[in-house]
Amino acid sequence: MQSESDVLIVGGGLVGASLACALGQAGLRVAVVEAFPFRVNQQPNYDERSIALAQGSQRIFSAMGLWDSLSDQVCPIHTIHVSDRGHFGFTRLQREQEGVAALGYVASARVLGNTLIAKLNQLAAVELLAPAQLLDFSVTADAVTAQLEADGRVLQHRTRLLVAADGVQSAVREKLAIATHQRDYGQTAIIANVTPGLPHRNVAYERFTDSGPLALLPMQENRCALVWTVHSEQADEIMTLEDSAFLARVQQRFGWRLGRFSKAGERHAYPLQLLRAEQSVHERLALIGNAVHTLHPIAGQGFNLGLRDVAALSEVVIDARRAGDDIGAPAVLARYADWRRADQRRVATFTDSLVRIFSQPFPPLAWARDAGMLALDLCPPAKRWFGRLTMGRAGRLPRLARGVEL
Ligand SMILES: Cc1cc2nc3c(=O)[nH]c(=O)nc-3n(C[C@H](O)[C@H](O)[C@H](O)COP(=O)(O)OP(=O)(O)OC[C@H]3O[C@@H](n4cnc5c(N)ncnc54)[C@H](O)[C@@H]3O)c2cc1C
């Protein structure tokens, strides 16, 4: 069997599905190959983890016509409060100072995924192949020929551009032997929803503790999404605690700023690693999302960064198509790679530096980082830089990230 597309996306996680939406709405013929079924609540990557969407990501979804479906299922963040447990340092970011309605929004990966699936199912230009696998591919001067396996049958698929959105273990990246920098953090993120005794007032808390950072993100109905990073060797014990003992541990780590925690939801654990690929493009091929950068969730930046990859790649591809150029040509892909390099490096370095700086128990270093946080809080230009980075507004923004349609 044979099929064809303008763009073949391998991986229908949040980033791959977002790209399929952006390109499909702009009229390109898109095929998505995803290992898991694309039915609501069946894709394991669309799980209960909460994603802090930066304000820039809200604009991207808005320009893609998805925000109306999402807006009543998310919780706005009005303040971000960062503190160092047991030390004096803290800093705050407030929506009034930034002149925005919200610094960001909290949505579950399930809500985001289901909204994307619903949209993809309406787009005639998008073909969803799931459950399906990429078996192999070869590149010639004017096309990529991919062998896919779907429903027990092997298909030959011809496309102008192959996009690897296949996550941290990207088989596409590995086949091309693209070099990576990787580090196992030896840490595991444990997530659960908890109910605080006091109103959260739309504050997102990031609290650094000696065993790792702990974030509490505001959710609807006065619940909070907990993302608690622990040393991996402690994770099994914490995962098996009774709810009351688990909540007592969280309370002891976070303190009483939100009153007494009650009702812990289901817990999930994610081992954490850093991955940065040295190249984000190859012949007729682009890498996006976790396939090119997998980050520690400490600052809630991984998906936001991937969505900016989507915004930039879809813009260069659509512009090439409108100009009558080959969308997989080296010059088009170089435009994408050059555009994304600085943002990808900046956010990966920022995130990794946070992990390193806040893992230091050595008192002079703890003092220096706390002084740094206070300086950040008191110095308007530094705070503006921090705000732009956190809200996903640093650097030259693609049209979608400015809220403009493709
Ligand atoms: C605990 C935690 C909290 C987080 N919080 C935030 C946050 O607050 N804000 C934020 O911005 N980010 C956050 N992130 C990061 C965010 O979840 C990821 O960056 C994002 O989900 C990556 O999406 P992706 O589509 O690139 O990759 P993935 O989700 O890994 O998707 C890859 C897809 O490819 C498919 N696939 C792989 N190989 C093949 C193949 N050969 N053939 C077919 N299909 C294939 C897989 O089935 C999968 O569906 C968090 C991460 C964690 C772990």
Q: Ligand 1, atom 35: nearest CA belongs to which residue?
A: 11
DSSP state string for 226-244:
EEEEEEHHHHHHHHTS-HH
- The contacts found for 207-211 with CB under 8 angstroms, 24 or more apart, are 207/82, 207/83, 207/84, 207/85, 207/253, 207/254, 207/255, 208/82, 208/83, 208/84, 208/85, 208/358, 209/85, 209/86, 209/253, 210/85, 210/86, 210/361, 211/253
CA dihedral 38, 44, 50, 54 (to 10 degrees): -50
What domains sit in the chain, N to C, each tagged with a CATH number? 2-75+103-182+273-402 (3.50.50.60), 185-272 (3.30.9.10)
Please give the model's pTM, rounded to 2 decimal places: 0.94
Q: Across residues 62-85, what is the average pLDDT?
A: 92
274, β-bridge pairs = 183
Note whether 107 and 73 are within 8 A (CB): yes
Q: Does the CB atom of residue 350 touch ligand 1 within 6 A? A: no
pLDDT tens, position by position, 172-192 = 999 999 999 999 999 999 999
Query: What's the pLDDT score for residue 394?
Result: 75
Q: Does the CB atom of residue 90 touch ligand 1 within 6 A? A: no
Alpha carbon distance 262, 332 (integer Å): 53
The amino acid occupying position 61 is F
Note whether 283 and 330 are within 8 A (CB): yes
Alpha carbon distance 140, 159 (integer Å): 11
Is residue 173 classed exposed, middle or buried when 0-12, 13-18 and 19+ CB atoms within 10 A define those classes? buried
- Closest atom of ligand 1 relative to the 44 alpha carbon: 49
Q: Where on the phi/psi map is residue 167: left (φ > 0), alpha (ψ -120 to 50), or beta? A: left
Q: Ligand 1, atom 47: nearest CA belongs to which residue?
A: 35
- Closest atom of ligand 1 relative to the 106 alpha carbon: 8
Q: What one-character DSSP code corresponds to residue 176? A: T
Find tokens 């400015």 and name the residue: 402
Query: What's the pLDDT score for residue 391?
Result: 73
Residue 368 confidence (pLDDT) above 70: no
- Closest atom of ligand 1 relative to the 170 alpha carbon: 38
Q: Does the CB atom of residue 15 touch ligand 1 within 6 A? A: yes
The amino acid occupying position 273 is Q
Note whether 186 and 231 are within 8 A (CB): yes
Give the mean pLDDT of the chain: 91
Query: What's the pLDDT score for residue 115?
Result: 96
Instruction: Return the closest-CA partner of residue 62 out of 11, 121, 22.
Output: 22
Both structure tokens of 158 = 């011809």
Burial letters 138-161, b for 16+ CB under 10 A, else e: ebeeebbebebbbeeeebebebbb
Alpha carbon distance 122, 342 (integer Å): 35
Q: Does the CB atom of residue 227 touch ligand 1 within 6 A? A: yes
Residue 2 pLDDT class (50, 70, 90 cuts) = confident
Q: Does the CB atom of residue 113 touch ligand 1 within 6 A? A: no
Residue 360 pLDDT class (50, 70, 90 cuts) = low
**What share of the chain in percent tops pLDDT 70?**
91
Distance between Cα 102 and ligand 1 center (Å): 25
Helices 109-122 and 14-25 meet at what angle, rounded to 10?
Answer: 30
Both structure tokens of 317 = 């591809």
Query: What's the pLDDT score for residue 193?
Result: 96
Q: Does the CB atom of residue 189 touch ligand 1 within 6 A? A: yes
Q: Across residues 46-72, what is the average pLDDT?
A: 94
Alpha carbon distance 342, 326 (integer Å): 25
Q: Does the CB atom of residue 52 touch ligand 1 within 6 A? A: yes
Q: Does the CB atom of residue 406 touch ligand 1 within 6 A? A: no
What SS3 class is residue 91? strand
Alpha carbon distance 280, 171 (integer Å): 14
How many C-beta neighbours within 10 Å does residue 126 have? 23
Q: Across residues 288-310, what is the average pLDDT?
A: 95
* Helix residue spans in 131-284 (DSSP H): 171-175, 232-239, 243-254
* Helix residue spans in 26-124 (DSSP H): 55-63, 67-70, 95-98, 109-122
Q: Does the CB atom of residue 390 touch ligand 1 within 6 A? A: no
Query: What's the pLDDT score for residue 371?
Result: 57
